[in-house]
Amino acid sequence: MTEELWYIALRNLHIKQGEGVIPSSLRIKTGQRFQLDGDEGVTAEDLLRLQAIKIYDENDREWADSELATAPKPKRQRRQSSGKNSR
């Protein structure tokens, strides 16, 4: 049995998926742990060579947690209601 291979993002990534694949792209934050399944428009070897990712090691956990904790949070959009009770 082979061990699962995980990667960790060394910078924010926007990876396009193959045609017809849902979701059509992946957004990965710095410090986020992830896997690739081969449907992506880029190979892990390309990302490793560009030093955008590295193979995840348990020693990376503390760094990853601090990166994700300080990452900007997306702003929540307020939904506008329609109808007679709307402002």
For the chain, state the CA radius of gyration.
18
Q: Which residue would you say has higher pLDDT here, 8 or 41? A: 8
Q: What is the mean pLDDT of residues 81-86?
A: 60
Whole-model pTM: value is 0.70
Domain boundaries, the chain: 7-70
SS3 readout for the chain: CCCCCCEEECCCEEEEECCCCCCCEEEECCCCEECCCCCECCCHHHHHHCCCEEECCHHHHHHHHHHHHHCCCCCCCCCCCCCCCCC
Q: Using pLDDT thresholds of 50, 70 and 90, give the confidence band for residue 47.
A: very high
Q: Tokens representing 57?
A: 């090691």
Whether 43 has a pLDDT exceeding 60, the answer reads yes
